Amino acid sequence: MLNCYWFYMKSFKTPFKGIVDDFRGRAVHYKDDWISGLTSGTGILAPTMYIFFASALPVIAFGAQLSRETDGSLSTVETLASTAICGIIHSIFGGQPLLILGVAEPTILMYTYLYNYAKNKEGLGRELFLAWVGWVCVWTALLLFLLAIFNAAIIINRFTRIAGELFGMLITVLFIQEAIKGMVSEFEVPKEGDPTLDKYQFHWLYANGLLGIIFTFCLLYTSLKSRRARSWLYGTGWLRSFIADYGVPFLVVDMGKVSLEHIFAAFVPALMIAGLYFFDHSVASQLAQQKEFNLKKSSAYHYDILLLGFMTLLCGLIGLPPSNGVLPQSPMHTKNLAVLKKQLIRRKMVKSAKESIGKKASNSEIYGMMQAVFIEMDNDPNEQRVSNLLQSLFVGVAVFAMPAIKMIPTSVLWGYFAYMAIDSLPGNQFWERILLLFVRPSRWYKLLEGDHASFVESVPFKHIVLFTLFQCVYFLVCFGVTWIPIAGMLFPLPFFLLITLRQYILPKLFSPNHLMELDAAEYEEIPGAPRLSFNISYKEVESPKVGSKEIGNAEILDELTTNRGELKVRTIYEL
């Protein structure tokens, strides 16, 4: 612990070192970043369009939410513009070009608190809301500059799984909350509406609400079904992949009118936003360059935080909500650029099965050999800037499609919020452990028959329960803070305090081995009973029928990643 302390102190005493090292490390690859993308031909369009839809749809939904919460001061136009501008800047000047930027739910939440504070505050009001938020962005940018200059990104490994999953669960619940509030609002007269009009009479509001519920659940159902379209039994591989991938002008703000008192008051929310962006941006970047992706080019955490500060400053000056690194789009971008050697995988699968059967291996051992083949990535992943630039340009073009976007029923957006919430749960071990609490001990053998997290076998059930209850209580505290009218903007604070609790308190409550399993950096999974039967003869293995079996690259990757974008680490035990 003492060595760690001196390491951090030494890093803080060498300002700009991280930025300079990151810049030098990425500068040597800058030319190749463009050449690799431009020489990919039309193949670059598939990941580009995938990420475009994955980025644009949430931003449109967030824009509708922001418009409602700020009485139209900000809307979908601003969220799309921010995502496009920041995405273009980052794809050209950013250190890690695989990182996807966008306006995220935490930003919407913070802006809601800021608007509720400003609209009734003497000296601000709705008229000076954007000007005051501009000062918040100025302070935020200054704090991000300091974090980058003094190499604060070295502490990113202190944000362990427990913090990331608590934060993810909070966003999930906020999505569900927003979806429910949205569906209820379909039965109500809009704020700007005249209740005396015929269209706002009870029978029409009732019909509108029922139709809204139908639209919401139809969107939710079709989205959840198309999410795993690659594994459908029906249709060709390209059709299934298509459904899975695609089924789902500004003035500088007049900040001079804000009083000195409110300018300094803007520092408090800026402190929270800076910490929030630092955490969210760094974690998204970290997951976009997991070691299992086999990326060859260096990272640039410090430099990207510096660039994030400049983009936050720019957005504040022109009246846009800032964008930062987003999940799960960032790791999903890398995943879609990771090229699997399809034919080689097929041949190796057959060869591996033949060798294992010849050695009379068990089904579990055969499955392990097959998994070892699955996770082989191409030796030269397509690390480039073109796909990020193109998808950002497409988001910018979407700004000019606002007449069409405004025709989308709001109830569809509430369904999309519900989809984002439900889709984020698989792969969240906090959620999986909550479900474990409802499994009777006599039924645990059923759990072990399927794929399951490694801690299920290595950590006593009592300790799993205690750790999960701690997370539940802490989550309720975090969620409760969001309900405090003005002080709710302090909701990131419990996540920062969690770093200290994880370092000094939890090790006293749990053994190091158990804590390492429950708060592991990687999503480690143990396969249960194999899904496929390997009781086949040599003749069957060598048959053309097996060799021609259709195995999609994306389908294999879907099986090996969580919905959050993490690669699953498979552990195979010798029998």
| pLDDT tens figures, 318-348 | 889 999 988 777 777 777 776 433 434 455 5
* 368 exposure class (CB count in 10 Å sphere: 0-12, 13-18, 19+): buried
Report whether pLDDT(129) > 80.
Answer: yes
Predicted pLDDT of residue 176:
81
CA distance 40 to 335: 16
- Please check whether residue 115 is in contact with residue 70, taking contact to mean a CB–CB distance below 8 angstroms: yes
Report whether pLDDT(297) > 60.
Answer: yes
Report whether pLDDT(178) > 90.
Answer: no
CA distance 80 to 360: 58
Q: What is the mean pLDDT of the chain?
A: 76
Residue range 465-482, pLDDT digits in tens: 898 899 899 999 988 888
CA angle 474, 167, 318 (to 5 degrees): 130
User: What count of Cα atoms within 13 Å lies in the side-chain half-sphere of residue 386?
Assistant: 20
Residue range 420-466, pLDDT digits in tens: 778 777 777 888 888 888 887 777 767 776 676 777 777 888 888 89
Cis peptide before 328 (omega within 30 of 0): yes
Predicted pLDDT of residue 533:
40
Cα distances (angstroms) measured from residue 1 to each of 4, 154, 503: 5, 15, 10
By C-alpha distance, which of 524, 425, 428, 519 is closest to 467? 519
In one-letter notation, the amino acid at residue 53 is F
Report whether pLDDT(118) > 80.
Answer: yes
CA distance 133 to 45: 37
Query: Percent of the chain scored above 70 by pLDDT?
Result: 71
Give the least confident one: 156-165, 366-375, 508-517.
366-375
Contacts of 359 (CB under 8 A, 6+ apart): none
Residue range 261-278, pLDDT digits in tens: 888 999 999 999 998 899
The structure tokens listed for 543 are 């048959």
- Please check whether residue 303 is in contact with residue 26, taking contact to mean a CB–CB distance below 8 angstroms: yes
Q: Please tell me the total number of residues recorded for the chain in this structure.
A: 575
Residue range 200-252, pLDDT digits in tens: 677 677 777 787 778 777 777 776 666 555 555 555 555 555 555 444 434 45
**What average pLDDT does the segment 283-305 reach?**
81
